[in-house]
Amino acid sequence: MKQVMGNVIVGQSGGPTAVINSSLAGVFKTAKDRGAKKVYGMLHGIQGLLEERVVDLSEHIRSDLDIDLLKRTPSSFLGSCRYKLPPIKGNTEVYDKIFEILEKLEVEYFFYIGGNDSMDTIMKLSDYAILTSSKIRFMGVPKTIDNDLPITDHTPGFGSAAKYIASITKEIIRDGLVYDQQNVTLVEIMGRNAGWLTGAAALAKGEDCEGPDMLFLPEITFDVDEFMHKVAELHKTKKSVVVAISEGVKVADGRYVCELTDNVDFVDAFGHRQLTGTSRFLAQKISKEVGCKTRAIEFNSLQRCASHIVGRVDITEAYQVGGAAVKAAFEGETGKMVILKRVSDDPYLCVTDIYDVHKVANIEKKVPREWINESGDYVTEDFINYVRPLIQAELTPMMVDGLPRHLRLQDVMLRK
């Protein structure tokens, strides 16, 4: 099965997930097994590539044990970036520079592990390759905790973040019951403009847990007064109220709730505002107006780097999409992203396929309205049935000296 191939380059882009390095392992191992000469890694994605910051991955992933450690290592092993390539028209210098660097490295296959913004990079580079008759092939490997990529059933990284969120929400609900005292806890969950992760907090509900009381997803316009009224009503009948709220909820005039405070101003190259502070803002309002103890718990980066509680389904699929991208590119495909197709729910089974990246890039998949209840403050059974298979099974960390062991890039400084 070994074929003699040219060199490969792989990069990671956008926010990390707990299993993003499993996809990197899938690309590296499959490329090596199929005869790639060198597998380069871009440091900090396309931004680092433009500065010719690359490593030969064989010098850093030296054994099967390293591969196993890499899979279990959170955060992007190669470093990431939020870098938007300009439109091709009128900006060919930057593309010429990238292709010059790739040709110097004798790269024939280019893989980018990322979400919808990163697929924009694959789309533009594959378009430019066609324009200039370059033979380099470009493939997207999906990842994002947000689960907002279209076409694919779900994205690797989502399942583990959902598992973390549901687990920790159970623990928080338990903790809220500790004192015989009224209290409201708000948990703030990532996901930008899609509520997949916030909805996953509902999976906390089971025989041993009543689940969160309400969930607020960005798909539904947020009404601060109505929210306050609902909390006050719940508060009359329950000692401990737990509400999950997305970082991306917006009020009717289009502002994020976190913009109602005055402390957020960072905007990245894709125009994404840093979203933080929603739960703190609302908790303070509840303390003041309802008059009870409140806690604001922002899960923040914890939900995307909790590699100690990854889902085995998720980490396995993350590896598979990496391998599938290599296989497809080596067979001649370009300008595509690997997708997951759900073949069956019970038993759960997903297979990989590939899809035109133009139909994926820059498009956000939201939670369908029919998977949110009528009053807009919870998800339906269909939502839960869709997510539940994705959080199944575990992959234990390799524990050394009482702590999970990770793989790190040797002798190379990632940008601080």
List the catalytic residues.
146
Q: Locate the DSSP E strands across 134-290.
A: 137-142, 183-189, 214-216, 240-246
Of 60-68, 69-77, 186-194, 353-361: span binding ligand F6P (CB under 6 A): 186-194
Q: Does 258 engage in binding with ligand F6P (CB under 6 A)?
A: no
Total residues at interface with ligand F6P (CB under 6 A): 14
Of 54-62, 130-138, 169-177, 185-193: span binding ligand F6P (CB under 6 A): 185-193
Two tokens, residue 215: 């969930």
Residues between 47 and 86 with contacts to ligand F6P, criterion CB under 6 A:
82
Residue pointed to by tokens 């010059």: 100
Of 59-67, 190-198, 249-257, 348-356: span binding ligand F6P (CB under 6 A): 190-198
Q: Does 365 engage in binding with ligand F6P (CB under 6 A)?
A: no
Query: Rounded to whole angstroms, what are the CA distances from 394 to 86, 104, 326?
Result: 41, 42, 26
Q: How far apart are the first and last CA of the chain?
A: 41
Of 70-78, 133-141, 187-195, 375-383: span binding ligand F6P (CB under 6 A): 187-195
- Of these, 108, 120, 146, 259, which contacts ligand F6P (CB under 6 A)? 146
Residues between 11 and 30 with contacts to ligand F6P, criterion CB under 6 A:
14-15
CA dihedral for 73, 75, 76, 79, sign (positive or negative):
negative
Binding string, residues 300-339; x marks residues near ligand F6P by CB under 6 A: ----x-----------------------------------
CB pairs under 8 A, 24+ apart, for 276-282? Answer: 276/188, 276/247, 276/300, 278/188, 278/245, 278/246, 278/247, 278/249, 279/186, 279/187, 279/188, 279/245, 281/257, 282/186, 282/224, 282/227, 282/245, 282/257
Q: Does 157 engage in binding with ligand F6P (CB under 6 A)?
A: no
**DSSP for residue 192:** T
* Residue 137 main-chain phi, psi, to 5 deg: -105, 140
- Of these, 139, 190, 321, 326, which contacts ligand F6P (CB under 6 A)? 190
Provide the phi-psi class of 52: left if phi over 0, else alpha when psi is between -120 and 50, else beta. Answer: left
Q: Does 9 engage in binding with ligand F6P (CB under 6 A)?
A: no
- Least separation in angstroms between residue 146's CB and ligand F6P is 5
- Least separation in angstroms between residue 405's CB and ligand F6P is 24
- Least separation in angstroms between residue 303's CB and ligand F6P is 8
Q: What is the largest CA-CA distance in the chain?
A: 71
**DSSP for residue 236:** H
Binding string, residues 264-283; x marks residues near ligand F6P by CB under 6 A: ----------xx--------
* Rounded Cα–Cα distance for residues 384 and 166 (Å): 11
Cβ closest to ligand F6P, residue 113 vs residue 202: 113
Closest residue to ligand F6P in the complex (CB): 15
The contact set with ligand F6P (CB under 6 A) reads: 14-15, 82, 115, 144-146, 190-192, 247, 274-275, 304
